[in-house]
Amino acid sequence: MATWRAHGGIATGYAVGCCLRCVFCWVSWSRDFPEKYGSFHSPERAARRIEAAARKYGVRKARVSGCEPTLCPEHLLKLLRHVEKSSAIRLFILETNGILMGADRSLAEEVAAFSKVHVRVSLKAGTPEDFTRKTGAIPEAFELPFKAIRNLMEAGASFHVAAMSADPRLMSPEERLELYRRLAGISPELPKVLEEEVCDPYDTALARLKLAGFKIEWPLKQVYPPISKIVG
* CA separation for the pair 216, 214 (Å, rounded): 6
Q: What is the pTM of this model?
A: 0.94
Q: By mean pLDDT, which of 1-10, 171-180, 195-204 is the weakest?
A: 1-10
Say what the pLDDT of residue 230 is: 72
CATH 3.20.20.70 describes domain 3-229: yes
Say what the pLDDT of residue 227 is: 87
Contact 165, 197 (CB under 8 A): yes
Of 220, 196, 195, 223, nearest to 206 by C-alpha is: 220
160-190: per-residue pLDDT in tens? 999 999 999 999 999 999 999 999 999 999 9
121-157: per-residue pLDDT in tens? 999 999 999 999 999 999 999 999 999 999 999 999 9
Rounded to the nearest 5°, which phi and psi values hold at 179? -60, -45
Contact 181, 174 (CB under 8 A): no
Query: Helices H, strands E: what count in the chain?
Result: 8, 7
Quick check: helix, strand or coil at residue 130?
A: helix
38-59: per-residue pLDDT in tens? 899 999 999 999 999 999 999 9
Return all residues near 74 (Cβ < 8 A) that are at least 6 apart. Answer: none
- Tell me the β-bridge partners of 160: 120
Kindly list the domain boundaries of the chain, sorted by start residue.
Answer: 3-229
Say what the pLDDT of residue 2 is: 39
